[in-house]
Amino acid sequence: MGSHRRLAPTSGFNRGAGAALCVLSAAASALGALPAAAAPHDNTKAEVDRLYTEAEKATEAYNKAGENAGTLRRQVSDAQDRIARQQERINTMRESLGSLAGAQYRSGGIDPALALLFSDDPADYLDKAAALDRIGAHQADRLRDLQSAMRELSQERAEAIRKLADLDRSRKAVAAHKKTVEKKLAKARTLLNSLSYAARAAYDRASRDARGVIPDFGSALPASPRAAAAIAAARSVLGMPYIWGASGPSGFDCSGLMQWSYAQAGVHLPRTSQEQRYAGRRIPLSEARPGDLIVYRSDASHVAMYMGNGEVIHAPHPGAAVRYDPVNMLPVSSVTRV
């Protein structure tokens, strides 16, 4: 596939640059310093990494929008149930009021002066009138209850309409973020496919496992039994693929791995890395212990789990498996002890 032509210093990316230079470009950390001639490949790798970073940010936005949509769906469903129950209550109240009105009519609910005038037994009339007064007072209370129930129903319906509008916006946000992720990943794949076979293989090897060995985690103990259980869960899926929007068990994105791991310890974490940074007590990096969450970048768009001795486990990016990496692989934003 490749030729042996040399690249001019100012040339762009060229598929025929040579397998050796591609390997050096894609796996610099493993193979040592790069010669100047490998710069075009370096630029391609940097662009792929940038696209993966942007895709990861869009993935966390997708996760958040999806979480919002799920919450709103439940709220809309609950509101619909409340509306149905309230409507049933109102129907029952209306039937009761109708029965009272019928009873009043049958009991002679006419003008009191005329009723007294035509009554054969004034004493009997006065007894009936007293009963009708009680029915009227009871009916007035029922009417007030009905009016109150109808106001509540109207408010419930208005709230349900607002929730449905919010749900529609969340669904559109999910679709928009999904489109952004897929666009970034498609562009990254196109760039990777433009590399030579050797360069692409080297990049894939670097993505699967940057070092290929299990690091030394030192002797630090987990911060709690639940942290120990979460660590064990995360280690059990080492090597599982990064799948954007996934939270296990057959694939994970970064926050999905944290949520799933702590779920195995009986702890519910929020879905996104931005929310996970507030899921416990914030501590300095110098005090990090195994099981703590390490949140990266100023926008908190990536998260990993501290394992000890300067190492983390995380789901890095598309094309990469769950793996160990140095804690300083990216700028650390915060550390959270769950």
Give CA 238 to chain center in angstroms.
Answer: 23
Separation of alpha carbons 45 and 66, rounded Å: 31
Count other C-beta atoms under 10 Å from residue 280's C-beta: 18
- Please determine, for residue 201, whether its predicted confidence score (pLDDT) is greater than 90: no
Question: How big is the chain by its Cα radius of gyration, in Å?
Answer: 34
Give the residues across from 323 on adjacent strands. 314
Q: Is the dihedral of CA 150, 152, 153, 157 positive or negative?
A: positive
In 3D space, the residue among 319, 323, 324 whose CA is nearest the CA of residue 242 turns out to be 319
Residues that are catalytic: 254, 302, 314
Domains of the chain: 47-191 (1.10.287.620), 215-337 (3.90.1720.10)
Average pLDDT, the chain: 79
Highest mean pLDDT out of 14-18, 88-92, 240-244: 240-244
Question: Coil, helix or strand for 328?
Answer: helix
pLDDT by residue (tens digit) across 116-159? 444 556 666 566 555 555 555 666 777 777 878 888 888 888 88
CA distance to 96, 115, 133, 144, per residue, from 130 (Å): 20, 13, 5, 21
Give the residues across from 308 on adjacent strands. 311
- Please determine, for residue 76, whether its predicted confidence score (pLDDT) is greater than 80: yes
Question: What is the structure's pLDDT at 11?
Answer: 37
Question: What is the structure's pLDDT at 234?
Answer: 97
Instruction: Read off φ and ψ for residue 63, nearest 5 degrees.
Output: -60, -45
Question: What is the structure's pLDDT at 26?
Answer: 36
Averaged over 167-172, what is the pLDDT? Answer: 87
Averaged over 90-97, what is the pLDDT? Answer: 79
Separation of alpha carbons 93 and 262, rounded Å: 50
Count other C-beta atoms under 10 Å from residue 235's C-beta: 15
Question: What is the structure's pLDDT at 314?
Answer: 97
* Residue 16 DSSP label: T
Question: What is the structure's pLDDT at 192?
Answer: 87
Averaged over 317-332, what is the pLDDT? Answer: 92
Question: What is the structure's pLDDT at 198?
Answer: 83
In 3D space, the residue among 232, 233, 234, 254 whose CA is nearest the CA of residue 242 turns out to be 254
pLDDT by residue (tens digit) across 206-265? 665 555 568 889 999 999 999 999 999 999 999 999 999 999 999 999 999 999 999 999
Question: What is the structure's pLDDT at 129?
Answer: 57
* Residue 212 DSSP label: S
